[in-house]
């Protein structure tokens, strides 16, 4: 009897999935006319500047000029958003209308936003992201919460990091925590339309107060427009001053309830597990007020949190279900990939057969590795899933090509000549607050051919992925002053087409920008980074001094190259290697993944964790 019921249920689910797929098949259009119809500009999806111009019978230059006049730099190939198309229609005197049709390109966006009938909606756990300055305790808080999970004991199994996990509060209610630390992941996901967070916990260490990344976190959370809960951490430490944190945060309009504001402040200690219950209760209260809901009884959709290729198991993706219920054997599209789900696991390494809204799961069976932030959607028709995935992959490739090389120092003059470049966006990262202020001061006085410099971020510390993400989004140039990007940041900058300029003398920065505006950049002495090595241990030798035991993490380290010593991305010394050895032998160079010992000329202050960066200088026209 029980078995029959199960079979019956499965059949109903299957039928539903089939219906959904058939409906989509009927709705899906091969091609849709976008263009002028009786003086109304009808569009079905975003177009490039060039294509838009053709459709309305204008020159691309007219459109670029319009954007220049608004301070936005565009080029012919850039894709216009719906909003921008609307603005243009008004500018050129047309009405405009968006035609809601489903295409292989827009299907993931459209179908993940379908509105459900209120009666179909059910309560779902809130999805929470923790943000804050480095070392303020994000990881510890996540771990403590995971360990305090009342359900974890029963579930057994080791917890695996799958990008998110769910804990059950003692009241029986669940909370989902996103476990991808880093503000950039948060913003990148949002910039791709995948809003995977309901509430942000802003964590601030009570012994340290508001720091640069705290500010950054506030910006990100405010931009997302989600409720903020402040967790004042480390109150167990001597020197902890929670009141100071409260008054500091007032400057950012985060006002505690006791001062008449509406931001919950919870004081506690992630390490000593103080205040965790109150924190969870607060999150659940916010969830109750905001009534986070989703329809679990429909085809599933969600977002990819993390993905990688496993040698034995093939592509593995952690996904967060946002709507519907994902079931094993469902065929899904995940960004530009697709596949039938062979196996599904939860954060406790346990096999699960289905996943409901707000549930994170690991899925196996995709044909390739999707990107974090990709949307996932059930499409139980393999042929169609494949076609849609291919269309999505093509769309992603196009977007990638178009986002590259939006803006660089070389091109400033061109932009000034071509149109009305009003604004050059700059991000400043420096080793000390003093340098940040000095640079801000000097840059704000610069006037190059009537162009204003806007500093969109200025802070102390290494150049990070988040700086590159912001620069990419704002067409900005990143200036590093006595700080360096590491290899992964440099790679991201290359991929995103973001220019990084590194200096250590302020007037050089100014000179360079003025020269760029006149199109008179000097033949540039560029640095070529040869490699990086990490200092993993230290040996003290009475005659030689401090020897750094290194591991080459990138490229190679030649014995006679120039080097700099980086500590947390800040240059602490620039000089030369004095000896480079593998075991007892002197070597000419150390290759990637090799190990050895080195000493630095006139510098004995090497520390564990330091990065030794080898470089050479070349003149480039």
Give the residues lining the site for ligand GDP (CB under 6 A).
Answer: 132, 134-140, 233-234, 236-237, 269-272
Tell me whether residue 139 or residue 579 sits nearer to ligand GDP (CB atom): 139
CB contact set of 567 (below 8 Å; sequence gap of 6+): 607, 609, 610, 611
Contacts of 408 (CB under 8 A, 6+ apart): 477, 497, 499
Kind and range of the H or E run holding 597: strand 595-600
> CB 143 → ligand GDP: shortest distance, Å?
8
Q: Which is nearer to ligand GDP, 136 or 190 (CB)?
A: 136
Find the radius of gyration of the CA atoms of the chain: 27
What does residue 280 show for φ and ψ, rounded to 5 degrees?
-65, -40
Exposed / middle / buried, residue 162 (Cβ in 10 Å: 0-12, 13-18, 19+): buried
Q: Considering beta carbons, is residue 134 or 556 the nearer one to ligand GDP? A: 134
Smallest separation, CB 121 to ligand GDP (Å): 35
Residue count (the chain): 621
Distances 306 to 223, 303, 374, 590 between C-alpha atoms, Å: 23, 9, 9, 33
Minimum CB–partner distance for residue 229 and ligand GDP (Å): 16
Closest CB to ligand GDP among 67 and 231?
A: 231
Q: Is the Cβ of residue 131 or residue 453 nearer to ligand GDP in the bound state?
A: 131
Lookup: tokens for 551 = 């591991």
When the beta carbons of 135 and 257 are compared against ligand GDP, the nearer one is 135
Beta strands in 379-493 (DSSP E): 423-430, 452-460, 476-481
CA angle 297, 298, 301 (to 5 degrees): 120
CB of 132 to ligand GDP, least distance (A): 6
Contact status, residue 531 vs residue 612, Cβ threshold 8 Å: no
Three-state DSSP at 549 gives strand
Q: Tell me if residue 133 falls in helix, strand or coil.
A: coil
- ∠ CA 403-52-94, nearest 5°, is 135
CA dist 64 and 421 (Å) reads 11
- Minimum Å gap between C-beta 57 and ligand GDP is 55
User: What is the Cα–Cα distance from 126 to 283, expressed in whole angstroms?
Assistant: 8
Q: How far is the CB of 272 from ligand GDP (least distance, A)?
A: 6
What would the DSSP string read from start to end of 172-229?
S-EEEEE----HHHHHHHHHTT----SEEEEEEETTT-S-HHHHHHHHHHHHHT--EE
Min CB(409)–ligand GDP separation in Å: 34
Comparison of 133 and 413: residue with beta carbon closer to ligand GDP = 133
Q: Considering the complex, what minimum distance in angstroms separates the CB of residue 463 from ligand GDP?
A: 18
At its nearest, how many Å lie between ligand GDP and the CB of residue 131?
9
Q: What is the dihedral of CA 569, 570, 572, 574, to 10 degrees?
A: 80
For ligand GDP, the closer CB: 134 or 473: 134
Tokens describing residue 54:
């053709």
Residue 314 CB, nearest approach to ligand GDP (Å): 31
Smallest distance, Å, CB 140 to ligand GDP?
3
* 374/486 with CB nearer ligand GDP: 486
Comparison of 440 and 567: residue with beta carbon closer to ligand GDP: 567
CA distances from 396 to 59, 392, 505 (A): 27, 6, 40
Which C-beta is closer to ligand GDP: that of 209 or that of 370? 209
Instruction: Tell me the C-alpha to C-alpha distance, in Å, between residue 35 and each of 63, 102, 376, 620.
Output: 16, 17, 30, 46
CB of 183 to ligand GDP, least distance (A): 12
CB nearer ligand GDP, residue 124 or residue 138 = 138
Q: Is 104 helix (H, G, I), strand (E, B) or coil?
A: coil
Burial class of residue 364, CB neighbours in 10 A (0-12, 13-18, 19+): middle
């Amino acid at each position: 009897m029980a078995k029959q019921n199960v079979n019956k249920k499965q059949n109903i689910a299957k039928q539903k999935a089939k219906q959904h797929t058939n409906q989509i098949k009927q709705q899906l259009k091969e091609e849709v006319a976008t263009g002028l119809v009786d003086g109304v500009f009808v569009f079905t999806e975003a177009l490039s500047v060039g294509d838009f111009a053709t459709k309305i019978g204008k020159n691309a230059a007219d459109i670029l000029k319009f954007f220049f006049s608004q301070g936005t730099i565009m080029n012919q190939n850039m894709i216009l958003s719906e909003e921008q198309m609307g603005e243009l229609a008004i500018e050129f005197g047309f009405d405009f209308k968006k035609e809601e049709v489903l295409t292989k390109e827009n299907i993931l966006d459209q179908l993940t936003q379908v509105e459900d009938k209120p009666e179909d909606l059910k309560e779902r756990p809130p999805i929470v992201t923790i943000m804050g300055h480095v070392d303020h305790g994000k990881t510890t808080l996540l771990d403590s919460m995971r360990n305090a999970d009342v359900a974890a004991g029963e579930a057994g199994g080791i917890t695996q990091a799958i990008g998110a996990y769910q804990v059950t509060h003692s009241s029986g209610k669940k909370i989902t925590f996103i476990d991808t630390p880093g503000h950039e992941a948060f913003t990148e996901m949002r910039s791709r339309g995948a809003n995977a967070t309901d509430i942000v916990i802003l964590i601030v260490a009570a012994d340290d107060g508001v720091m640069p990344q705290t500010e950054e976190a506030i910006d990100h959370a405010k931009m997302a427009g989600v409720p903020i809960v402040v967790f004042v951490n480390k109150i167990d430490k001597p020197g902890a001053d929670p009141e100071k944190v409260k008054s500091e945060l007032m400057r950012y309009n985060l006002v505690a309830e006791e001062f008449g504001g509406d931001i919950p402040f919870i004081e506690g200690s992630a390490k000593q597990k103080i205040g965790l219950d109150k924190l969870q209760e607060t999150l659940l209260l916010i969830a109750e007020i905001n009534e986070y809901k989703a329809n679990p009884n429909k085809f599933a959709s969600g977002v990819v949190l993390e993905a990688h290729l496993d040698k034995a198991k093939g592509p593995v993706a952690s996904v967060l279900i946002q709507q519907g219920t994902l079931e094993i054997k469902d065929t899904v599209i995940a960004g530009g990939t697709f596949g039938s789900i062979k196996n599904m696991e939860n954060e406790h390494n346990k096999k699960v057969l289905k996943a409901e809204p707000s549930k994170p799961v690991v899925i196996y069976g995709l044909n390739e590795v999707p990107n974090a932030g990709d949307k996932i959607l059930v499409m139980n028709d393999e042929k169609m899933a494949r076609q849609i995935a291919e269309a999505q992959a093509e769309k992603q490739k196009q977007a990638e090509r178009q986002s590259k090389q939006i803006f660089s120092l070389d091109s400033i003059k061109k932009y000034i000549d071509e149109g009305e470049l009003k604004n050059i966006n700059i991000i400043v990262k420096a080793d000390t607050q003093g340098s940040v202020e000095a640079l801000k001061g000097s840059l704000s006085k610069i006037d190059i051919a009537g162009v204003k410099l806007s500093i969109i971020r200025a802070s102390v510390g290494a150049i990070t992925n988040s700086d590159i993400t912001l620069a990419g989004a704002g067409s900005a140039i990143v200036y590093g002053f006595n700080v360096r990007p590491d290899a992964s940041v440099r790679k991201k900058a290359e991929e995103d087409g973001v220019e990084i300029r590194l200096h250590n003398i302020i007037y050089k920065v100014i000179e360079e920008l003025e020269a760029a505006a006149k199109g008179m950049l000097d033949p540039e002495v560029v640095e070529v980074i040869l490699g990086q090595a990490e200092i993993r241990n230290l040996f003290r030798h009475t005659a030689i001094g401090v020897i750094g035991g290194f591991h080459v993490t990138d490229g190679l380290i030649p014995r006679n190259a120039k080097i700099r010593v980086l500590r947390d991305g800040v240059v602490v010394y620039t000089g030369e290697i004095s000896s480079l050895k593998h075991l007892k032998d002197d070597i000419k160079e150390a290759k990637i993944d090799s190990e050895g010992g080195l000493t630095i000329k006139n510098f004995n202050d090497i520390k564990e964790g330091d990065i030794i960066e080898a470089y050479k200088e070349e003149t480039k026209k």
